[in-house]
């Protein structure tokens, strides 16, 4: 193994432009966190009038967008914060980033000249106000493109065929269906668009002062990229909109250099001239890097605005459920993932309704109620759910005669539970659904789970994960593994560039993981086996009820 140590005085900066905030983490050459920053969109940029970082269109069902310029201003603000804290930008050897997946940005024709000659005396936001052919970016929560999804699937030979080709069946939030909708409903906007970026490649574009490539991993979240050869699929492009390839530009590996940081940042913040911008990628792929997941038996559960379950796999098996992306830190393996829209915002909703808007009260309820909740199970969808595809609504059931087998068990629908049971039904329901779908998707039973995202700070939720999955649960030093992973990828990209070839990321921390900020710590040990078996029964019953709900109310 070659020497992969990093020069002692260098720093590596990673951002995470997520749904609700822009975060940043800085790592030193020993991969230890030096500092972090955060800008919360709702509270710190209130003039964009977002709630949870988004606008929900009251007139178009399922249309959910974010103001593109808000992300630009957040970058101004976070860099100013670093400057005010006397952060030495000149030590940063490379920057990379993470962003919510599937959001898309529409650059107006003629903008590349302005992007390439930004005035370092002025904030970005003052110069890019007129940069976009659409001022609001459709984001991952949007579900207004069902019609386009079906049309694209039909054009390529069916849902499974699209999954074989691109890694996923058509999903409403994926960028291909979103582009097709824009082409169909706002052809003038499509015409006026020079370049379409993902949120990830958009933020990288701001840093290099030119259009950055879309990386192979986030690019797989579009229903447009051939996942085997990691190039645009002509068939999928044609099924989406005419003349699309030239608006998308080229694809690049996640470890590649997108460009040098533009002179704007050198002059305004004193970045070094040779500071590299490494390709940005999606937030879940960056978390996979930050959590150092590298064996198929490791599973990550991310409890952020969305909840996701992901791991790695050596090959791509087409499926009607879940998603497959190229592994962002390996050139051969894949990342497999399940995604839930009703994550933290739905937990907050139940907390506000039932537990006095307090996580403490919420946790007291989890502690007061018994595991299995006396057979009370619930499905809580504040927003239209992705997995399973069910509309907004709550469904609660009591299982009568639920003891040691499913024989004779009957479910009874009820309007609501008492507040403590409601809280437990929500948490158990979310986790049982993850376990059931992970098994159905072919993810192997986990040897261990690494939990991340905002809600992984909650010890009671971690404890339920250990009981339901029956394995040890680990956490990392900070719940924001996406910006940590981005900083790590900045270092990895810098190293690959230095060596002139791809080097395995693990070589950077191979024998010193426990001395870095990447080290996972055991948070909760596996639940007892008898309880895990009872949860298996509860999970089976839940799947039965879920299947019926999907038949009655689902979209597909």
396 forms bridges with which residues in the sheet?
Answer: 378, 414
Binding of residue 346 to ligand ADP (CB under 6 A): no
348 binds ligand ADP (CB under 6 A): yes
The answer to whether 288 contacts ligand ADP (rule: CB under 6 A) is no
Rule CB under 6 A: choose which of 79, 431, 455, 524 binds ligand ADP: 455
Minimum CB distance to ligand XUL smaller for 19 or for 262:
19
**Which CA distances in Å does 518 have to 31, 91, 289, 506, 512?**
7, 21, 10, 11, 10
Name which of residues 347 to 386 contact ligand XUL (CB under 6 A): none
Nearer to ligand ADP, 378 or 479 (CB): 479
Q: Quick one: which of 223, 344, 467, 475 contacts ligand ADP (CB under 6 A)?
A: 344
User: Minimum distance between the CB of residue 339 and ligand ADP, rounded to whole angstroms?
Assistant: 12
By CB under 6 A, tell whether 359 contacts ligand ADP: yes
Report how far residue 321's alpha carbon sits from residue 236's, in angstroms, rounded to the nearest whole number: 19
Residue 76 binds ligand ADP, judged by CB under 6 A:
no
Nearer to ligand XUL, 133 or 308 (CB): 308
DSSP 433-478: HHHHHHHHTTPPPPSEEEEESGGGG-HHHHHHHHHHH-SEEEE-SS
Cβ contacts of 504-507, under 8 Å, gap ≥ 24: 504/330, 505/289, 505/329, 505/330, 506/292, 506/294, 507/1, 507/2, 507/4
163 binds, among ligand XUL, ligand ADP, none (CB under 5 to 8 A by kind): none
Is the peptide bond preceding residue 367 cis, with omega within 30 degrees of 0? no
In the complex, what is the shortest distance from the CB of residue 181 to ligand XUL, in angstroms, rounded to a whole number?
17
How far is residue 539's CA from residue 241's CA, in Å, rounded to a whole number? 42
Of residues 11, 17, 21, 165, which one binds ligand ADP by CB under 6 A?
A: 21
What would the x/- binding string for ligand XUL be over residues 2 to 21, using CB under 6 A?
A: ----------------xx--
Query: Which partner from the list ligand ADP, ligand XUL, none does 140 bind, CB cut-off 5 to 8 Å by kind?
Result: ligand XUL
Q: Which does 21 bind (CB under 5 to 8 A by kind): ligand XUL, ligand ADP, none?
A: ligand ADP
Q: Considering the rule CB under 6 A, would residue 240 count as an interface residue with ligand ADP?
A: no
Which residues inside 224-253 make contact with ligand XUL, applying CB under 6 A?
Answer: none
| Nearer Cβ to ligand ADP (97/249) | 97
Quickly count: other Cβ atoms within 10 Å of residue 249's Cβ.
18
Whether the CB-CB separation of 340 and 306 falls below 8 Å is answered with: yes
Q: Least distance in Å: CB of 298 to ligand ADP?
A: 19
Rule CB under 6 A: is residue 205 a binding residue for ligand ADP? Answer: no
**370 to 90, 321, 423, 519, 528: CA distances (angstroms):** 55, 32, 12, 33, 14
Exactly one of 14, 285, 290, 453 binds ligand ADP (CB under 6 A); that residue is 453
* Contact characters 96-115, ligand XUL, x per CB under 6 A: ----xxx-------------
For ligand ADP (CB under 6 A), the number of binding residues is 15
Residue 454 binds to ligand ADP (criterion: CB under 6 A): yes
| CB within 8 Å of 113: residues ≥ 6 apart | none
Length of the chain: 556
* Tokens 């499509």 sit on residue: 190
Residue 197 contact partner, candidates ligand XUL, ligand ADP, none, CB within 5 to 8 A by sort of partner? none
Work out what residue 223 binds among ligand XUL, ligand ADP, none; the CB cut-off runs from 5 to 8 Å by kind.
none
CB of 480 to ligand ADP, least distance (A): 6
Dihedral sign computed on CA atoms, order 393, 549, 461, 354:
positive
Interaction between residue 140 and ligand XUL (CB under 6 A): yes
Residue 284 interface partner, choices ligand XUL, ligand ADP, none, CB cut-off 5-8 Å depending on type: ligand XUL
Residue least distant from ligand ADP (Cβ): 454
Q: 471 near 434, Cβ under 8 Å?
A: no
Considering the rule CB under 6 A, would residue 306 count as an interface residue with ligand XUL?
yes
| Residue 298 sits in the site that holds ligand XUL (CB under 6 A) | no
Q: What is the DSSP string of 404-435?
A: SSSTT-EEEEES---HHHHHHHHHHHHHHHHH
Helices 481-499 and 283-290 cross at an angle (nearest 10°) of 80
Q: What 8-state DSSP symbol labels residue 231?
A: E
Helices and strands (DSSP H and E) totals, the chain: 20, 26
> Exposure string (b/e) for 275-293, b if CB count within 10 Å is 16 or more?
bbbbbbbbbbbbbbbbbbb
200 closest CA partner among 189, 186, 211, 190: 211
Task: Report what 339 binds from ligand ADP, ligand XUL, none; CB cut-off 5-8 Å by kind.
Answer: ligand XUL
Site residues (vs ligand ADP, CB under 6 A): 18-21, 304-305, 344, 347-348, 359, 453-455, 457-458
Site residues (vs ligand XUL, CB under 6 A): 18-19, 100-102, 140, 173, 221, 282-284, 306, 308, 339
């Amino acid at each position: 193994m070659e020497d992969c140590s990093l020069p002692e005085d260098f720093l590596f900066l990673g951002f995470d432009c997520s749904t609700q905030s822009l975060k940043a983490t800085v790592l030193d050459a020993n991969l230890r966190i030096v500092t972090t920053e955060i800008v919360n969109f709702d509270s710190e940029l209130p003039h964009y009038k977002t709630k949870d970082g988004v606008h929900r269109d009251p007139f178009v069902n399922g249309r959910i967008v974010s103001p593109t310029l808000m992300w630009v201003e957040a970058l101004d603000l976070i860099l100013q914060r670093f400057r005010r804290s006397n952060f030495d930008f000149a030590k940063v050897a490379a920057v990379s980033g993470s962003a919510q997946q599937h959001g898309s940005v529409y650059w107006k024709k003629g903008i590349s000249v302005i992007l390439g000659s930004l005035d370092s005396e002025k904030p970005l936001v003052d110069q890019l106000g007129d940069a976009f052919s659409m001022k609001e970016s459709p984001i991952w929560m949007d579900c207004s493109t069902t019609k386009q999804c079906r049309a694209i699937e039909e054009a390529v030979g069916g849902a499974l065929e699209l999954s074989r080709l691109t890694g996923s069946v058509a999903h409403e939030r994926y960028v291909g269906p979103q582009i097709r909708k824009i082409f169909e409903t706002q052809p003038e906007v499509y015409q006026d668009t020079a370049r379409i970026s993902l949120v990830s490649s958009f933020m990288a574009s701001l840093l290099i002062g030119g259009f950055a490539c879309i990386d192979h991993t986030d690019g797989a979240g579009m229903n447009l990229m051939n996942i085997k050869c990691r190039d645009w699929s002509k068939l999928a492009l044609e099924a989406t909109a005419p003349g699309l390839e030239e608006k998308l530009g080229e694809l690049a590996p996640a470890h590649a250099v997108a460009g040098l940081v533009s002179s704007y940042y050198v002059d305004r913040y004193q970045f070094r001239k040779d500071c590299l911008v490494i390709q940005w990628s999606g937030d879940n792929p960056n978390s996979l890097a930050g959590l150092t997941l590298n064996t198929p038996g490791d599973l990550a559960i991310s409890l952020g605005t969305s909840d996701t379950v992901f791991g790695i796999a050596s090959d791509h098996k087409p499926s009607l459920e879940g998603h497959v992306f190229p592994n962002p830190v390996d050139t051969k393996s894949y990342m497999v993932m399940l995604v839930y829209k009703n994550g933290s915002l739905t937990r907050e909703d139940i907390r506000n309704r039932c537990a006095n808007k307090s996580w403490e009260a919420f946790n007291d309820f989890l502690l007061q109620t018994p595991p299995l909740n006396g057979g009370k199970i619930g499905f809580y969808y504040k927003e239209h759910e992705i997995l399973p595809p069910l509309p907004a609504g709550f469904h609660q059931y009591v299982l009568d005669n639920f003891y040691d087998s499913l024989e004779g068990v009957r479910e009874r629908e009820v309007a609501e539970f008492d507040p403590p049971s409601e809280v437990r039904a929500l948490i158990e329901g979310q986790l049982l659904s993850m376990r059931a779908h992970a098994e159905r998707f072919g993810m192997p039973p986990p040897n261990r789970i690494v939990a991340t995202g905002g809600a992984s700070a909650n010890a009671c939720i971690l404890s339920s994960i250990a009981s339901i999955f029956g394995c040890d649960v680990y956490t990392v030093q900070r719940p924001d593994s996406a910006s940590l992973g981005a900083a790590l990828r900045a270092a990895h990209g810098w190293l690959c560039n230095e060596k002139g070839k791809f080097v395995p990321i693990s070589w950077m921390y191979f024998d010193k993981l426990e001395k870095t900020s990447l080290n996972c710590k055991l948070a909760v040990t596996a639940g007892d086996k008898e309880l895990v078996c009872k949860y298996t029964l509860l999970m089976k019953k839940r799947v039965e009820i879920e299947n019926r709900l999907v038949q009655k109310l689902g979209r597909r």
